[in-house]
């Protein structure tokens, strides 16, 4: 798709800095214990890779890094780890970018919305409480039982607005 994925200079406040990465990894460990699932080395490392990327990474980009560190080198290795993280609320899949990003707020059982910058491909996780309330209402009106939703907005991030001004 695009070679910019994961390369945006953007870095959101919520998971920048080594300290925060560590904190989120700890949260993930705890969450895994809670749910009786195992945060194995590949899975943990995959989460770290996403956290360090400060943006969304394609599965093959993640795979490349895993392979370089001695993990398996074939696509299912990355997809399995990524799917595990998504299923357990530790990462999100950004369909518009065919990419994945670490969850910035892993402790809350939130339903997220993503703000994707067209210019730098950065991805910000937005608070989507009101959006989901409205969506639930719309689903209700249609007699539809809502399970989960993907909300992806495309536009210009703050940094790129400045760059263009």
Partner DNA sequence: GCCTTGACTGTTATGATATAACGTTAGATA
Partner DNA sequence: TATCTAACGTTATATCATAACAGTCAAGGC
Structure tokens of 12? 């959101």
- Angle formed by the axes of helices 41-53 and 18-35, to 10°? 140
Within 119-158, the residues that bind its own copies by CB under 8 A are 124, 126-128, 130-131, 133-135, 137-139, 141-158
Of residues 76 through 135, those in contact with DNA by CB under 7 A are 76-77, 79-81, 83-84, 98
Q: What is the DSSP string of 53-100?
A: HTS-B-HHHHHHHHHHTTS--SHHHHHHHHHHHHHTTSEEEEGGGTEE
Read off the tokens for 52.
Answer: 């360090």
x-marked contacts with its own copies along 63-102 as a string, rule CB under 8 A = --------------------------------xx------
Size of residue set near DNA by CB under 7 A:
25
Minimum CB separation from its own copies for residue 141, in Å?
Answer: 7
Interface with DNA (CB under 7 A), residue from 34, 74, 130, 143: 74
Rounded CA-CA distance 156/120 in Å is 8
Residue 29 or residue 140: which is nearer to its own copies going by CB? 140
Cβ atoms within 10 Å of 43's Cβ, excluding its own: 20
- Out of 40, 107, 127, 133, the only residue in the binding site for DNA (CB under 7 A) is 40
What DSSP state is assigned to residue 40?
Answer: -
Residues at the interface with DNA (CB under 7 A): 1, 3, 5, 37-38, 40-43, 58-60, 71-77, 79-81, 83-84, 98
């Amino acid at each position: 798709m695009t070679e910019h994925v994961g390369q945006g200079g953007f870095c959101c406040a919520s998971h920048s800095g080594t300290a925060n990465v560590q904190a989120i990894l700890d949260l993930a460990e705890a969450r895994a214990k809670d749910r009786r699932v195992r945060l194995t080395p590949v899975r943990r490392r995959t989460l770290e890779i996403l956290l360090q990327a400060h943006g969304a990474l394609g599965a093959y980009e993640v795979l490349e890094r895993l392979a370089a560190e001695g993990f398996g080198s074939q696509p299912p290795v990355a997809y399995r780890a990524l799917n595990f993280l998504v299923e357990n609320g530790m990462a999100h899949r950004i369909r518009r970018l065919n990419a994945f990003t670490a969850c910035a707020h892993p402790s809350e059982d939130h339903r997220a919305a993503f703000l994707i910058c067209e210019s730098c491909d950065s991805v910000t996780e937005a608070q989507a409480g009101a959006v989901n309330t409205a969506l639930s209402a719309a689903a209700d009106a249609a007699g539809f039982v809502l399970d989960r939703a993907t909300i992806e907005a495309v536009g210009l991030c703050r940094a790129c607005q400045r760059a263009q001004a």
